[in-house]
Amino acid sequence: MAERPRHDEAYKHLFTHRRIVEDLLRGYAGDWTRMLDFSTMEQLSGEFVPPGLIRRSADMLWRVRFRDPLIPSLFLQIEFQAMPDITMGKRADEYANLTILAADEKDRGPNGEPPFVFSLVVYNGRPAWKAPTGVADLVGPGSAHALRELLGFRGHRWYLLLGVRIGRGPGIVPGNLVSAAFALERAGSPTEAARTVGELEELLDNAGDEDLRARFAEWIAYVMRLRGFPGLETQRSKREVMTLGEIRTAFADQVKEWTDRWHREGFEEGIERGREEGREEYRALVRQLAERKFGPETVSALGPLLDRLSDPDHVVNVVGAVIESRTGHEFIARLRTL
């Protein structure tokens, strides 16, 4: 469990780069971001100490100005979550109020209008996020429109939630580094991870930023090791920070090892002839991997769930579930959906 805060720290380090935050806004905040002057982006301290109150600290705070100098500045508040937080709405609203109170005159409009605060939560956990994202979630659905008219956007929604690993995720945005990072988080097999790393390599080559490339290499290696993808621990023992090429090679080597094993043990031949012993070999492989990672109790709970194993593609998905799941209960739940 101690790994989860470190995972959040890995995300925070990645999002201290201006290009990443720009891609986050352009890809997921909406068309209104075209009005922003991204050359003015500046990371600020997210720590607030209101007079007589307890110190408050947001995960990350950025300021960016609009192209029109008459429009007040925009403050972007980013929170990183690995588990749902029922208090997130209250926190986001509190941070927004503190940000507005601390804003300089130059961040306000010509008549003293307060700056805008846009709160965004990047959630990379698997449990469903049931916490309310705005006032409208606390009342009947028919009241949402009235609330929007009465309270405006900020009263209607506290924050924008990006559920990286919920369902199909936030959506694919071509050419967007953040979108590619989210896709890697959802990768279910070394094959899919290797393909996504290759796409990231191309995007980073076009960006021509070595610092950004190094940050991504560090983040990818850490996240993939945390999720249990094989082939990375040996590389880590040689050098703490791997290159993107080394990471992609590690994934490719693992895919080749799996393919060779299927051929050696007659997996594909067993499928073609429909032999029961071929299917039993699949089950034995999954049982072995599950027992090694989760223990015998998880194996005993598999039962008829493994009866459907019949082809390599299905086996890859199931093995990917073993690798990606953090607990035996999570693996069983994922296996029921495959």
For the segment 209-223, what is each residue's pLDDT rounded down to a tens digit? Answer: 888 888 888 887 777
Residue 12: how many other CB atoms lie within 10 Å: 14
The percentage of residues in the chain with a pLDDT greater than 70, rounded to a whole number, is 67
- Residue that has been written with the tokens 């040689």 in this structure: 238
Span 147-155, average pLDDT: 46
CA angle centred on 258, ends 256 and 264, rounded to 5°? 100
Span 133-141, average pLDDT: 58
Indicate the helix (H) or strand (E) that contains 56: strand 56-57
Please state, in angstroms and rounded to a whole number, the distance separating the CA atoms of residues 55 and 13. Answer: 22
Residue 7: how many other CB atoms lie within 10 Å: 18
Which range (169-183, 204-218, 291-305) has the least confidence?
A: 291-305
Is the pLDDT at 133 greater than 90? The verdict is no
Please state, in angstroms and rounded to a whole number, the distance separating the CA atoms of residues 77 and 24. Answer: 12
Span 133-137, average pLDDT: 63
User: Which pLDDT score is estimated for 25?
Assistant: 94
User: Which pLDDT score is estimated for 17?
Assistant: 92
Is the pLDDT at 148 greater than 60? The verdict is no
Please state whether the predicted TM-score (pTM) of the whole model is above 0.75. Answer: no
Give Cα separations from 314 to 123, 186, 188, 321 (angstroms): 28, 17, 12, 11
Span 191-209, average pLDDT: 83
pLDDT in tens, 70-100: 999 999 999 888 888 888 888 888 888 888 8
Is the pLDDT at 106 greater than 60? The verdict is yes
Please state, in angstroms and rounded to a whole number, the distance separating the CA atoms of residues 127 and 148. Answer: 29
Is the pLDDT at 126 greater than 50? The verdict is yes
Is the pLDDT at 245 greater than 70? The verdict is no
